[in-house]
Chain A
Amino acid sequence: GLILLFYLVFYGFLAALFTFTMWVMLQTLSSDIPKYRDRISSPGLMISPKPDTALEFYFNKSDAQSYAEYVSTLRKFLESYDDSKQSQNINCTPGRIFDQNDVAVKKACRFNLSELGQCSGKEDKTFGYSKGTPCVLVKVNRIIGLKPEGEPHIQCTSKEEGMVEINYFPPGGMIDLMYFPYYGKSLHAHYLQPLVAVQLAINSNSTKEEIAIECKILGSPNLKNEDDRDKFLGRIAFKVQMTE
């Protein structure tokens, strides 16, 4: 009995102490930006849709079922880019870092879906999957305070030549500097990260073959894309296999 009581008190005290120290620690943190951001100095790249099976796309262009999931993922992902959702967003000056350090309420820049052209899902509801020209959206990871230098743009290459023709939306795979920097979830609630749509026009001879594609962020000296250990730092590799 006494033992139980002792441990009740003992652990009660420890739990209180733990809670208290954690509370003190959390008090020292800002709710806007993390104390340190040195572990993510350079952003990673990611694609949407993201297949479950390790970034490999398999679909049959004549079988709507086989790419239905990709399409619905894209649709869902682009929902937040819909014009109706962007009513609060402002039109920023393209090509310039949109510095809002002095402003208490940080504005988000508008990202026009039409920039994504054929991959916007407006004309082609299947994002090109039914035509053998599947779209993949490439996005740059959000990092608070990141200000890319130069003219960052996405460039994708296929290891096998001549199998696929790659088109970028916006043209040249450009990522506009006006979308940077990001001020964090709480200050920058409506922020939309810039997207680059990559349309893969697969050569009709190359169906049934696995096409390896690597996209990299280029043109910006402070965005790494060659890290040995981190295969997603400024780059991403995926595979596409289409059948008819």
Chain B
Amino acid sequence: IQDDHKLSTSELEEKYGTSINKGLSSARAAEILARDGPNSLTPPKATPEIVKFLKQMVGGFSILLWIGAVFSWISFGIQLSQGAESAFDNLYLGVVLALVVILTGIFAYYQEAKSTNIMASFSKMIPQQALVIRDAEKKELPADQLVVGDIVEIKGGDRIPADIRLIFTQGCKVDNSSLTGESEPQSRSCDFTHENPLETRNIAFYSTTCVEGTATGIVINTGDRTIIGRIASLASGVGNEKTPIAIEIEHFVYLVAGVAISIGVLFFIISVSMRYKILDSIIFLIGIIVANVPEGLLATVTVSLSLTAKRMAKKNCLVKNLEAVETLGSTSIICSDKTGTLTQNRMTVAHLWFDNQIYSADTSEDQTTQPFDQSSPSWTALSKIVTLCNRAEFRPGQENLPIMKRVVVGDASETALLKFAEVIVGDVMNIRAQNKKVAEIPFNSTNKFQLSIHETDDPNDKRFLLVMKGAPERILERCSTIMINGKEEPLDSEKAEAFQTAYMELGGMGERVLGFCHLYLPENEFPDTYPFDTDSMNFPTSNLCFVGLLSMIDPPRSTVPDAVSKCRSAGIKVIMVTGDHPITAKAIAKSVGIISATSETVEDIAKRLNIPVEQVNRREATAAVVNGMELKDMSLQQLDEILCNHSEIVFARTSPQQKLIIVEGCQRQGAVVAVTGDGVNDSPALKKADIGIAMGIAGSDAAKNAADMVLLDDNFASIVTGVEEGRLIFDNLKKTIAYTLTKNIAELCPFLIYIIASIPMPIGTITILFIDLGTDIIPSVALAYEKAESDIMNRRPRNKKKDRLVNEQLAVYSYLQIGIIQSVGAFVTYFTVYAEQGFLPSTLLGVRVNWENNAINDFEDSYGQQWTKYQRTYLQWTGYTAFFVSITIQQVADLIIRKTRRNSIFRQGLFRNKVIWVGIFSQIGIALILTYGLGHVTALNFTPLRFQYWFVAVPFAILIWVYDEVRKLFIRRYPGSWWDKNMYY
């Protein structure tokens, strides 16, 4: 813990061995530089690219395919040494398998490389040059050469080059938003103002910006030891948790690999015990693995996710980490910032009080008029004060923009008042010009008021008008009268009481309240030429006439209440985490529905029952507003209790560090937590969260880098759209996987039956790859475009542990039901092709050894004809093609049934998702090209097929469709039944 902010200048000089006037000597600086290293952030130890690449090469199913490839090469070697002619088939197969792995690996690597490194933007923030005093001379040095003890000078516009203890300042203000997310400039001085070095005014932090003024200071921390450096290392230290979808995919890979390996090994043993040669058994093993592994699926999943990511980007959610697309869908708690995310991030006049009455103003984003009653002369007086007692101005040249969009020079409250006045009275600048300002006292924190004196625009009225605004109680102190319906009336205690009530009410709504008063200076005392002097205050500042109150708030975005209620119906808990005052936070939370109208906090109950807070049963309160100060003293259990017991929670006055604690608390509840943030300090919380959401407009680069997602419009409602997309993609991935897994059985069965019944090989390994990586790819991506079956925002977030992507029902239904129907259909085609060429099914059983014998060239078919080996092989390829075509045809039916899991296809609409049809046509198109276009390329094992064989499997395709409609019908008819439990995936 540093205490440099407490030390005096001379103590600092002593501590760092420097001199304020002369700075360090170059030699000394070089020594320190050698000791501490350069003033830059060390990038995290990056995994070498080659390691990342290799990881992709062995991840997922790759290992299985590598094993397949190696086995292929081994059997190639053995067969070659035995001089077998077919040896090269195995070589090609091995090469193809390796290619598949390498290409999918490259694809995955490319996808990963696109997600950027968190440290990249930290290094971008380093200032290029710094003005340093060394050897009693001012020098421009590269900022990374700075060392502790250097004296640096900064001026408005500079980025602070290191952590600096200020020793001389002149009107210096810094923007700490890159550190805290608060964009309000903070003034800096040489005074020690706070125990906490982060809060004290006399330290400026590395990477923040000096907005105005100048300052000189001693460098006290450099490089990784700066505050931001520590956060950076903290952020990169927070482990990157696996995303829920990554866990799901891993689970799925294990499942499929498990099935592949166990079937493979089982049949290896069976074939060995059936006296097959070991080499043959190994080749069977390869076939089984290739048939079982959905080679194209992982790439398909990636493509589907990136399609969703693109769709989300259109809705202002920019996803950096593809898997985060789904994470958002399984989110169960959103910890949201208030300012800018839930609110419009601009002060707006919300209420007015004059003539003893509160009026509401319109706070929507695009107001053009104000509906409240403006007929009272009091309003005329008030509007004049609002217009004149205001230093804010529109930037010139924006006349064509809507008022609310115009850029204003001035602070937040004055901007609000300026726009408010412009909307109602119009052309403020002109009014100000007509009421020439003769004197002015700007707002300061000791006076707490702002005052100006104007000539009036009434040529007959030579009086000066004094207008004043400020903290209501201070303004009231200076008034002796109050304007009611345009008439000045004495300010008696009854009227003062009314003022108090109104002030409390507005303040209670979390609004910033300002009081307004005026005074017409008597003409005789203050003639035209009266020399107003603001220093000596040679004019009255008391006994003024109180006119009214205006209260302002940063109003919620108009889309937010709707979004919050959507979250509610979607079972997502929205927690507000803000640095704001609890009252304001609670008011906003209530107005957007984070705290619903009927719920009460412990404090509310206490107030209603008029009992001390301690006596309230905490469980009765559904809502809670937790102050950051309370949170600081809380144990983890207490925090858990709050998170558990209250459904509506607001954390106010919290520091960004506490955000991390809150996120961890939510995660302990087993929730999938989404967190929004914008400051550098938010980056640990953003990283820790299951999905970190950075603000695109207000967010710092570090926050954007730590986040998985960037909200381009900073709008909470966009998160909800994102959730919807995330849930949809989860459902659709289920469909994609179910679709892809189904045909694996139709690819696997041929091997099993080939081994057991010794029939000629029904489908080749290469052919399988053409299905997995050819005909099936576009259809499975097309499922990502499927619309939701029902309102997905009306169900609870999925339970990470129970609602798996690939559950037992999905696997069983795909493998053991649809997959088997497909196999039967494909086998019927296979047997038809052989039978019509002369090999009746009965002849085929048990022929494998002779069939594959190269020396037998007079193999007899069922009709007594004799076939050479090549003639048989060609027939076998025709069989492959027929089997392939049958699977393709039945996959069309499979694709159509996978459009829905519960609803009838007809309800979903057969033609609503056009991409599905693109998929179907591509599937058939590719199959046609393979059979008729490439049918003569020997290595591919396709042959031109008689056209009628395309239709053999059609009845089975129809059966698949009908069966699945029946399945869905029963699921809808009998929810919760045995059928529903076993058949719904």
A residues in contact (CB < 8 Å) with B: 2-3, 6-7, 10-11, 14, 17-18, 21-22, 25-26, 29, 32-37, 39-40, 43-46, 50, 52, 54-55, 139, 141-144, 182, 184-186, 188, 191, 227, 229-233, 236
Contact = CB atoms under 8 A, between A and B. Distances in A.
B837 interface: yes
Interface of B: 816-817, 820-821, 824, 827-828, 831-832, 835-838, 840-841, 854-858, 860-871, 874-875, 878, 938, 946, 955, 959, 978, 982
A232 B841 contact: no
A48 to B, nearest CB: 9
A39 B871 contact: yes
Shortest beta-carbon contacts, A-B, top 6: A185-B864, A44-B868, A141-B866, A34-B838, A230-B870, A46-B858
Contact of A10 (B817, B840, B875): B817
18 contacts: A6-B982, A7-B816, A11-B820, A17-B824, A17-B959, A25-B832, A26-B840, A35-B836, A35-B837, A36-B837, A39-B837, A44-B871, A54-B854, A184-B864, A185-B862, A229-B870, A232-B870, A233-B871
Contacts of A43: 866
B646 to A, nearest CB: 44
Contact of A44 (B817, B857, B861): B857
Contacts of A17: 824, 959
Contacts of A37: 837-838, 865
A186 B865 CA distance: 11
Given A18-B828, A54-B854, A55-B855, A229 B864 contact: no
A12 to B, nearest CB: 12
Contacts of B821: 14
B855 A54 contact: yes
Contacts of B870: 227, 229-233
B863 A2 contact: no
A40 B871 contact: yes
Contacts of B955: 21
A129 B835 CA distance: 42
A182 B875 contact: no
Nearest to B855: A54
A139 B858 contact: yes
Contacts of B863: 32-34, 144, 184-186
Given A34-B861, A36-B946, A232-B869, 4 more contacts: A25-B831, A39-B871, A46-B858, A142-B860
B937 to A, nearest CB: 12
A26 B840 CA distance: 8
Contacts of B869: 230, 232
B868 A229 contact: no
Given A11-B820, A33-B863, A34-B836, A141 B868 contact: yes
B864 A29 contact: no
Contacts of B868: 44, 141, 230, 232-233
Contacts of A186: 863
A25 B828 contact: yes
A143 B865 contact: yes
Contacts of A191: 864
A52 B835 CA distance: 29
Given A18-B828, A185-B864, A39 B836 contact: no
B835 A25 contact: yes
A188 to B, nearest CB: 8
Given A3-B982, A46-B858, A14 B824 contact: yes
Contact of B835 (A18, A29, A46): A29
A14 B820 contact: yes
Given A18-B827, A26-B840, A29-B835, A236 B875 contact: no
A16 to B, nearest CB: 11
Contacts of A141: 857-858, 865-868
B938 A229 contact: yes
B930 to A, nearest CB: 19
A188 B878 CA distance: 28
A54 B854 CA distance: 8
Contacts of B817: 10
B752 to A, nearest CB: 15
A23 to B, nearest CB: 11
A34 B865 contact: yes
Contacts of B978: 2
A167 to B, nearest CB: 24
A184 B863 CA distance: 5
A68 to B, nearest CB: 20
Interface centre among B824, B836, B866, B868 (most CB of A within 10 A): B868
B129 to A, nearest CB: 75
B271 to A, nearest CB: 23
Nearest to A2: B978
A227 B841 CA distance: 29
Nearest to A43: B866
Interface centre among B832, B838, B854, B874 (most CB of A within 10 A): B838
Interface centre among B832, B841, B858 (most CB of A within 10 A): B858
Nearest to B955: A21
Contacts of A21: 828, 955
A36 B820 CA distance: 29
Nearest to A25: B832
Nearest to B821: A14
Nearest to A55: B855
A44 B858 contact: yes
B835 A26 contact: yes
Given A17-B824, A232-B857, A46 B866 contact: yes
Contacts of B816: 7
B871 A230 contact: yes
Contacts of A7: 816
Contacts of A233: 868, 870-871
